[in-house]
């Protein structure tokens, strides 16, 4: 009996000590990796690009838009270990403006391109086209035209289905369905998910025009261990878990994001890309990039852009020159989406707007291009004791 009591006490003490360590942990850059670029590969531009860790290669894949090639880098050394070159014309052509890929395995690489009548190419590592799938619609009165989100979280592949995260519309009449397509590769047919509907409690006349994609990119993440889908919208503190046939709203608020202050004003009726109001809101306000799942650590990360000072856009409207530093919010959750830690990462340490991906070591994003043209620095973020 005494042994049993002692065992329970020791176990409780151990769990308590773990809890204490977790509370003392902070979100921070814990390591970095330098990717060695060849003379054909450029760092990602300011609009972001696609990265992914490939488990079967133990490599980081990076889509080089200049040459239409996926470059592979050893995840430990950063050295180049090969590429998948896509054709620029002919039967294996992936389209005029490829901007997103998802590496499922060596024989299944999915590529989305603009200007291809809303189609998705299925390729292999040799750059050969295996199939082409379509998701265009004839009726855009009920939904926005199906433009996939960029940067990350556009594709979840769960054969025979593919889930495609699309841009949200700035017109309420086009948000009658979730901005997520479920495509059946066996039949090359698709449908929109019924929920979660975006921005139900927001007056869309207070948002910025859809040309500012920051506020409209939906993201879909899959928990590959239990099959959950997590949907995140940029101007919604909640996230939505699709488990089986049910959708559940979960608290995904970051302490650093705060309120979306610009939603208190009305936008101009006519879109003007040079309007300082539009520019100021797009470049200074807070929003969530989305949620990404790390299967190696069994954790979720929700990444956001921290507002550059309260009502910064109003100060700019008044003629004040405001150059507040860029800061990102990173919140880490466990597999059931219980918050583990909340933190802020300075833009000087990582540029999430140029790439977001995970590896067995943590959450990753490119650094500033300060190490020369032939080196791409990658920051790795996690829990630091």
pLDDT tens column, 240-296: 999 999 999 999 999 999 889 888 887 776 777 677 777 778 778 899 999 999 999
* Average pLDDT over all residues of the chain: 86
Collapsed DSSP state (helix, strand, coil) of residue 355? coil
Distance CA 234, CA 219 (A): 9
Question: Is the four-CA dihedral 374, 34, 71, 293 of positive or negative sign?
Answer: negative
Q: What 3-state DSSP class applies to 335?
A: coil
The label of the residue with tokens 């080089």 reads 64
Q: What is the per-residue pLDDT for 269?
A: 67
How much is the pLDDT for 280?
Answer: 78
Q: Tokens 């002919």 identify what position?
A: 90
Query: In 3D, which of 309, 300, 304 has the Cα closest to residue 287?
Result: 304
Inter-residue contact 249 to 263 (CB < 8 Å): no
Task: Please give the average per-residue pLDDT across 339-359, as a whole number.
Answer: 95
CA 203 from chain center: how many Å? 25
DSSP 117: S
Q: Is 28 buried (19+), middle (13-18) or exposed (0-12) by CB count in 10 A? A: middle
Judged by average pLDDT, the poorest of 11-20, 92-101, 205-214 is 11-20
Q: What's the Cα-to-Cα distance from 201 to each of 34, 89, 235, 236, rounded to whole Å? A: 43, 46, 10, 9
Give the H/E segment covering residue 279: helix 276-284
Mean pLDDT of 179-208: 92
Banded model confidence at residue 9, pLDDT cuts 50, 70, 90? very low
The DSSP letter of residue 206 is G
Q: Tell me the mean pLDDT in the region 18-32.
A: 70
Least confident range from 19-23, 61-65, 169-173: namely 19-23
Q: How confident is the model at residue 50 (pLDDT cuts 50, 70, 90)?
A: confident
Tell me what pLDDT residue 138 has: 66
Terminal Cα-to-Cα distance of the chain (whole angstroms): 37
Cα separation values, 348 from 140, 313, 328, 370, Å: 41, 22, 10, 11
């Amino acid at each position: 009996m005494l042994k049993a009591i002692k065992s329970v006490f020791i176990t409780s003490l151990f769990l308590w000590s773990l809890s204490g360590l977790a509370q003392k942990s902070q979100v921070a850059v814990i390591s970095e990796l330098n990717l060695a670029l060849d003379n054909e590969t450029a760092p990602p531009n300011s609009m972001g690009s696609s990265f992914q860790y490939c488990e079967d290669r133990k490599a980081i894949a990076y889509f080089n838009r200049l040459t239409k090639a996926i470059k592979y880098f050893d995840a430990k050394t950063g050295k180049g270990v090969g590429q998948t070159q896509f054709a620029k014309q002919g039967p294996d052509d992936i389209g005029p403006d490829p901007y997103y890929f998802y590496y499922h395995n060596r024989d299944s690489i999915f590529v989305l391109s603009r200007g291809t009548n809303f189609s998705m190419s299925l390729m292999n590592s040799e750059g050969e086209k295996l199939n082409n799938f379509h998701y265009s619609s004839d009726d855009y009165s009920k939904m926005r035209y199906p433009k996939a989100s960029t940067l990350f979280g556009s594709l979840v592949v769960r054969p025979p289905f593919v889930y495609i995260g699309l841009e949200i519309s700035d017109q309420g009449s086009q948000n009658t369905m979730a901005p997520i397509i479920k495509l059946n590769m066996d039949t090359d047919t698709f449908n929109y998910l019924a929920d979660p509907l975006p921005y139900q409690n927001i007056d869309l006349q207070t948002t910025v025009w859809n040309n500012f994609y920051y506020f409209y990119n939906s993201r879909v993440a899959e928990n590959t261990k239990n099959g959950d889908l997590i949907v995140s919208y940029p101007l919604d503190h909640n996230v939505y878990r699709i488990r089986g046939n049910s959708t559940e709203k979960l608290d995904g608020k970051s302490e650093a994001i705060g309120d979306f202050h610009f939603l208190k004003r009305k936008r101009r009726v006519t879109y003007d890309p040079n309007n300082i109001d539009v520019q100021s809101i797009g470049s200074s306000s807070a929003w969530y990039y989305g949620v990404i799942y790390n299967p190696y650590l069994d954790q979720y990360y929700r990444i956001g852009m921290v507002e550059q000072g309260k009502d910064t856009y109003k100060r700019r409207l008044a003629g004040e020159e405001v150059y507040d530093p860029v800061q990102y919010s990173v919140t880490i959750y466990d597999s059931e989406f219980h918050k583990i830690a909340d933190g802020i990462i300075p833009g000087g340490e990582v540029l999430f707007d140029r790439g977001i991906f995970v590896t067995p070591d943590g959450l990753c994003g490119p650094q500033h291009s300060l190490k020369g043209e032939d080196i791409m620095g990658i920051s790795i973020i996690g829990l630091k004791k």
